[in-house]
């Protein structure tokens, strides 16, 4: 995997992790101080998936990125309606993020890198 593509997937996974944590933790003050954490992370996921799409050569993962982007946008639009006082049924973002992380986690670990070598230690006697 090209370094830029790995970086992109790492960023997607990080945003999914943050959204999962914020959605799961009922004590998270996500709406305080104008943060709007859920919306922010959904925007980032949507943007990163769109940005990664033309870099990806594997059609299976191109399709997954397209679906992720579309779903993130749909979830973001629901969140925005809720923030504007027009709540819709909220999606289960904890499960949604976990499922997407599992889709990309192993793929982004494509190991082209050789294991680090440890130089021989020289013991003085």
Higher pLDDT, 70 or 89: 70
Instruction: For residue range 12-70, list pLDDT tens digits in order.
Output: 999 999 999 988 877 666 665 556 788 999 999 999 999 999 999 999 999 999 999 99
Prediction pTM value: 0.80
CATH fold of 3-24+31-109, please? 1.20.120
Q: Is the pLDDT of residue 111 over 80?
A: no
Q: Which residues contact 97 (CB under 8 A, 6 or more apart)?
A: 16, 17, 19, 20, 23
What does the pLDDT read at residue 119? Answer: 58
Q: In the chain, where are the structural domains located?
A: 3-24+31-109
């Amino acid at each position: 995997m090209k370094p830029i593509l790995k970086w992109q997937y790492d960023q997607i996974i990080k945003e999914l992790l943050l959204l999962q944590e914020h959605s799961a933790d009922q004590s998270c003050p996500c709406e305080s101080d104008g943060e709007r954490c859920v919306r922010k992370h959904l925007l980032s996921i949507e943007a990163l998936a769109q940005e990664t799409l033309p870099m990806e050569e594997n059609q299976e993962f191109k399709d997954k990125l397209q679906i992720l982007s579309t779903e993130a946008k749909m979830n973001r639009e629901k969140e925005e309606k809720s923030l504007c006082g027009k709540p819709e049924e909220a999606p289960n973002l904890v499960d949604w993020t976990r499922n997407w992380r599992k889709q990309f986690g192993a793929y982004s670990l494509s190991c082209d890198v050789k294991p680090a070598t440890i130089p021989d230690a020289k013991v003085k006697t």
